[in-house]
Structure 1
Amino acid sequence: MKFIDCKILRVYLKESDKFNGQNMTHTVVKLLKSHGISGATVFKAQCGYGRRGVSRFDILRLSMNLPVIVECIDYETTFEQVLPELTKIVGENGLITMENIQVVKE
């Protein structure tokens, strides 16, 4: 068994965030794919809060704006290529984090 040093990148958004009129979550995923990031997963939260207020599921409301997290794992050098453009897309609408991880390989 072998451990490979990688990074995990997370982008925190709200599901109705837009960039140039397009859904920001989809825009971020397309950007990651176009830069060769190995894969991405989008998680939709039940509730959360941040600088832009509280978001939660409310059956009585017709529209919801729940938190979403786009998560991906790759090498730091790969992320360095996409971060400038990703930062421009997310802007003040979200949060980008990156942490060290180890991927297990046989």
Structure 2
Amino acid sequence: MSLPGAAVRLTAYVGESDVHGHRPLYSEIVHRAHAAGLAGASVFRGVEGFGASSVVHTARLLSLSEDLPVAVVVVDTEDRVRAFLPVLDELGVTGPVTLEPVRVVRYGGRAAPEEAPGEGPA
């Protein structure tokens, strides 16, 4: 897949303990983005944060929070990302969802390591 220079970054903020069915919500978003053929998605776990509830969630040892903030980031063309937005509604994402224009300067998978002469699959 080739990703042109102009793209959009979607960031969906969810709680670590949010679920959809039996799967963490952040994982479900990544799997749905993959199934939709989007260019890429990553999940970033926050160490502290708060949202609409004004409750501060933190990873500090004394508080032992089990609901840390999580950001799911998806990058692709604007049309493809906007077409994915209804999936977030379907999954019940209630945290903020942002879109920012970005410029992709490099995109590509890693090449498979080359085998040394005489070596083959075991």
TM-score by length of 1: 0.84
| Structure 1 residue aligned with 2:86 | 84
Contact 1:35 1:81 in 2 (8 A): no
Q: Distance in 2 between matches of 1:58 and 1:104?
A: 36
Greater share of helix residues, 1 or 2?
1
The alignment-based identity, stated in percent, is 30
Aligned length, in residue pairs: 102
The letter of the residue matching 1:69 is A
Residue 18 of structure 1 and its aligned partner are, at CA, apart by: 1.4
Alignment of 1:66-77 (within 5 A): 66-77=68-79
For 1:17, the aligned partner's letter is D
Name the structure 1 match of 2:117: none
Residue 61 of structure 2 corresponds to which residue in structure 1? 59
Q: If you compute each CA radius of gyration, which structure gives the higher value, 1 or 2?
A: 2
Higher RCO (CA < 8 A, seq sep 6+): 1
Gaps of 5+ in 2: 107-122
The answer to whether the 8 A contact 1:58-1:64 is kept is no
* Displacement of 1:39: 1.1
What runs of 5+ residues in structure 1 fail to find an aligned partner? none
Q: Please state how far the C-alpha of 1:57 moved relative to its aligned partner.
A: 1.2
Larger strand share, 1 or 2: 1
Give the deviation of 1:63 after TM superposition: 5.0
Could you tell me whether the CA contact under 8 Å between 2:47 and 2:59 is conserved in 1? yes
